[in-house]
Amino acid sequence: MKARVHVMLKNGVLDPQGEAVRHALGAMGFDSVQGVRQGKVIELDLADDATEAQVKDMCDKLLANTVIESYSVEMG
């Protein structure tokens, strides 16, 4: 079984990487981009009996800094 975890900075948290990407896109002529938020995707290969609750526990303990990041989990 696979799980995909999407981790993003929470709204209101400064995203310097996203701002650098937005600035670079503007310099390349992509003036319609008004904002960029950059995150990460983590793919896990799991045993068939793994649960979404276990993946969320992994996120809370290691994969995401829940003080400044939010996450979502896709199982499948």
Give the CATH number for residue 12: 3.30.1280.10
- Which residue in this structure is represented by tokens 């939010």? 70
Specify the number of domains making up the chain. Answer: 1
If you ran DSSP here, which 8-state letter would residue 45 be given?
E
Task: For residue range 14-46, list pLDDT tens digits in order.
Answer: 999 999 999 999 999 999 999 999 999 999 999
For residue 69, name the pLDDT band (cuts at 50, 70, 90). very high
Its domain, for residue 66, covers 2-75
Q: How far, in Å, CA of 4 to CA of 55, rounded? A: 9
